[in-house]
Chains A and B, each alone.
Chain A
Amino acid sequence: DAGITQSPRHKVTETGTPVTLRCHQTENHRYMYWYRQDPGHGLRLIHYSYGVKDTDKGEVSDGYSVSRSKTEDFLLTLESATSSQTSVYFCAISADRGAGNTIYFGEGSWLTVV
């Protein structure tokens, strides 16, 4: 298993509150990603990082921000949680880009916004 730890694994929060999900890796991989998974939509990219303090937006970035102050940690923040952000969030990592470089996934964080 790729050394990826997501925390918390399960969380219930109220609408309007900020939420931070943490992804920690022990592989020293350059690239880190946050995806969300919803029924009928597959996985969609929220944000990704290609180095410390280097991040970019994905397909569904509205309402989310990220930070990466260390190679091993990538934080996803929901600035003001809404019910539409109830989802399963997956962190992923890869060593490099191009040439079909493999992306490895964490176990997921289940977030419910009530």
Chain B
Amino acid sequence: AQSVTQLGSHVSVSEGALVLLRCNYSSSVPPYLFWYVQYPNQGLQLLLKYTSAATLVKGINGFEAEFKKSETSFHLTKPSAHMSDAAEYFCAVSESGYSTLTFGKGTMLLVSP
């Protein structure tokens, strides 16, 4: 069975600092991995996805994530945080041949001036 663990329910950074949100997955087959962002009272928006084409994936709003098979990780980074990045971020996994996503519990990113 596939699963996702997001380390840290809340992460606080200062504006301009590096953002690092951690995601580790468990999957019995090569996974497909996703990061979604949710702004208050809104639905989920896809930031980026890994589908085995390249291990470093670039997404919207300056975010990127690197797939590391040896570490079973797919951490999300952004070099310089902006106030508008404050939101909840979800990592999710799906397996080849399956149509559903399994989500982590989410990490709330707080950005201070």
Give a binary string over A40-58; 1 marks a CB under 8 Å from any B CB, 0 the rest: 1111110010100000001
Q: What interface size band does chain A fall in?
A: 20 to 34
C-alpha gap A100/B106 in the complex (Å): 20
| Interchain Cβ contacts under 8 Å between A and B, 22 examples | A4-B43, A40-B9, A42-B106, A43-B44, A43-B90, A43-B101, A48-B100, A58-B100, A94-B99, A98-B96, A98-B97, A100-B32, A100-B34, A100-B49, A100-B52, A102-B46, A103-B34, A105-B43, A105-B45, A107-B43, A108-B42, A108-B43
Within 8 A of A (CB), among B15-31: none
Across the interface, do B44 and A41 meet the contact criterion of CB distance under 8 Å? no
Within 8 A of B (CB), among A53-84: 58
Could you count the A-B residue pairs with CB atoms below 8 Å apart for me: how many are there?
A: 62
In the complex, which residues of chain B have a beta carbon less than 8 angstroms from the beta carbon of A44?
103
Chain B residues engaging chain A, CB cutoff 8 angstroms:
9, 32, 34, 36, 41-46, 49-52, 90, 94, 96-106
Across the interface, do A99 and B96 meet the contact criterion of CB distance under 8 Å? yes
Across the interface, do B103 and A43 meet the contact criterion of CB distance under 8 Å? yes
Interface centre among B44, B45, B51, B97 (most CB of A within 10 A): B44
Across the interface, do B99 and A97 meet the contact criterion of CB distance under 8 Å? yes
- Given known A-B contacts A42-B105, A45-B100, A106 and B43 have beta carbons under 8 A apart: yes
A-B contact sample (8 more), CB < 8 A, given A100-B49, A102-B49 = A42-B104, A42-B105, A43-B101, A45-B102, A50-B99, A90-B43, A99-B96, A108-B42
